[in-house]
Structure 1
Amino acid sequence: MGLAVGSVCAILLVMVLLSAPCHGQDAYVSSRATYYGSPDCLGTPTGACGYREYGRIVNGGDVSGASRLFRDGTGCGACYQVRCKGAPCCSEEGVKVVVTDYGEGDKTDFILTTRAYAKLARPGAALQLFAYGVIDIEYKRIPCQYPGYNLFFKVHEYSRFPDYLAIVIIYQAGIYDIVALEVWQEDCKEWRPMRKASGAIWDMPNPPKGALRFRFQVIGSGGAKWVEPSNPVLPSEWKAGVAYDTTIQLTY
């Protein structure tokens, strides 16, 4: 099953979050954050994770670039609770964001969309917070959760059937890092590793023919494990720009 992945905004816009916390990192870490502007207050389709349009709209547009938390792309898709401190206009809860890009500021770990940055403020105080430009924050990692969504493998637009395959994994729930991705070579009866190309993109020249089975390795608080969907994820004639349902979801 596949599906294609493809205004002036108010500063204080109430959004329904796709990503909800449950249990995660206990202690908050001190850092700094800033924001970047865009015409619609969402993310950018040219983000370093390679998510394209997904990286703009996931989590209602509450997304962020990250510096050291980017971790050469391993941090792509991770969810964080971020709240500002030291300013009277700061809210107590802050905002939940998904990392979709890389970015560096003035000793910052997060560069938020304006939509997410505004939610760090108390109601009616967003303009005061924007005046700071860079603010002190504290953050902790939390599990992602995407109600109604399984894990999807999106065939990146750079892919060229049948000679070159690039994959981006989206709607990754839980609090795991994906550190390896392999595809089954039926004629050789072996798993072939895909290369971590850039950001969240995994690629392979000359992929196997036919419907493609995958497995991927994740690392979480319980250690490392391999996860394998029971059925092939990609059809024999996969298409660039299409996201395919794995029919599974990570848990936390």
Structure 2
Amino acid sequence: MDSLLKKKVWRLLLCVGLLMIMEDPRGASAAWLNAHATFYGGDDSSGTMGGACGYGILYTDGYGIKTAALSMALFNDGKSCGGCYEIVCDAAQVPQWCLKSTSITITATNFCPPNYDLPSNNGGWCNPPRPHFDMSQPAFETIAKYRAGIVPILYRRARCERDEGIRFTINGRDYFELVLISSVAGAGEIWSVWIKGSKANQWEAMSRNWGSNWQSLTYFNGQSLSFRVQASDGQIVTALDLVPSTWQFGQSFKSSVQF
């Protein structure tokens, strides 16, 4: 009987676990990982604008104040730009600094550079191989007290939620289109991008220039443009004839497609 009872208990626990995995749309089955968090940018987040991912004004690019700069261990040479992470202060370690059990989902919009003049456990927080989040100050203050300065955290990957479609901003010059792609939902991270002019029959693969900026060396002036974007989870969306033939460098175009 004891053996039969144990089997029933294990089956019950397995069913509960499966239900928990299936019912959480953000992928709560992902393991929580340890890291630390600091903050920057001021209480209005003005100091977080721009940065190593190439985003401009984070409000108009769809990211707002819930952002963070990633250490070298997480930034992945810019491939992590746009990815989202759920973060909670580790109250088991510093209950005096954590704010309840509040979590926040942030977007990676910048790079936290290493400081090899300082030790990793005393100032060189973003030195490899440490995973570290330098959060915007308002984001940090949703999980921990300002006076803490730095706190241990738990983090995991999360789905990105956006209020609008993917945005394409075209910079550069003739024969050099530098396209900033922002406001990306789902996985958030961009894996591949293709562009097609109205005079072309095939899609042309673009290459990552830096951060979320992708480039083409084709002369597209006077053509309407379409874009195809593949996220890091493999999903693909296509914005057909998004950009009219009268486009100019410096313009931004908001699509109706989203992950």
Which TM-score band applies after superposition, normalised by the shorter structure?
Answer: 0.7 to 0.9
Distance 1:57 1:203, change over 3 A: closer
Contact 2:192 2:231 in 1 (8 A): yes
Distance 1:43 1:83, change over 3 A: farther
Q: Structure 2 CA distance, aligned partners of 1:244 and 1:60?
A: 19
Q: For residue 64 of structure 2, give the secondary structure of its aligned residue in structure 1.
A: helix
Q: Structure 2 CA distance, aligned partners of 1:206 and 1:108?
A: 39
What residue ranges of structure 2 are gaps of 5+ in the alignment? 1-23, 114-123
2:121: which partner in 1? none
Q: Does residue 34 of structure 2 align to residue 30 of structure 1?
A: yes
Amino acid aligned to 1:71: N
Task: Give CA deviations for 1:71-130 in whole Å, capped at 9, x if unaligned.
Answer: 222211111111111212313023221111010451342001111111112xxxx2xxx3
Q: For residue 236 of structure 1, give the secondary structure of its aligned residue in structure 2.
A: coil
2:136: which partner in 1? 113
2:257: which partner in 1? 248
2:229: which partner in 1? 216
Q: Structure 1 CA distance, aligned partners of 2:131 and 2:60?
A: 21
2:165: which partner in 1? 150
Distance 1:95 1:188, change over 3 A: closer
Q: Percent identity?
A: 27
Q: Structure 2 CA distance, aligned partners of 1:215 and 1:53?
A: 24
More helix by share: 2
Q: Structure 2 CA distance, aligned partners of 1:194 and 1:49?
A: 17
Q: Structure 2 CA distance, aligned partners of 1:227 and 1:37?
A: 33
2:107: which partner in 1? 98
Amino acid aligned to 1:215: R
Contact 1:50 1:201 in 2 (8 A): yes
Distance 1:225 1:116, change over 3 A: closer
2:16: which partner in 1? none
Contact 2:43 2:138 in 1 (8 A): no
RMSD of aligned Cα (Å): 2.4
Which is greater in Rg? 2
1:134: which partner in 2? 150
Contact 1:33 1:112 in 2 (8 A): yes
What residue ranges of structure 1 are gaps of 5+ in the alignment? 1-20
Aligned length: 215
Deviation at 1:201, TM superposition (A): 0.5
Amino acid aligned to 2:192: A
User: Which aligned pairs between 1:1-252 and structure 2 lie closer than 5 A?
Assistant: 22-24=25-27, 26=29, 27-38=31-42, 40-54=44-58, 58-67=62-71, 68-85=73-90, 86-88=93-95, 89-91=97-99, 92-104=101-113, 105-106=124-125, 107-121=130-144, 126=145, 130-147=146-163, 149-156=164-171, 159-160=172-173, 162-209=174-221, 210-220=223-233, 224-229=234-239, 231-250=240-259
Q: Structure 1 CA distance, aligned partners of 2:249 and 2:43?
A: 28
Deviation at 1:166, TM superposition (A): 1.1
Amino acid aligned to 1:64: A
Deviation at 1:198, TM superposition (A): 0.4
Distance 1:154 1:98, change over 3 A: same
Q: Structure 2 CA distance, aligned partners of 1:190 and 1:29?
A: 43
Contact 2:169 2:180 in 1 (8 A): yes
Amino acid aligned to 1:109: H
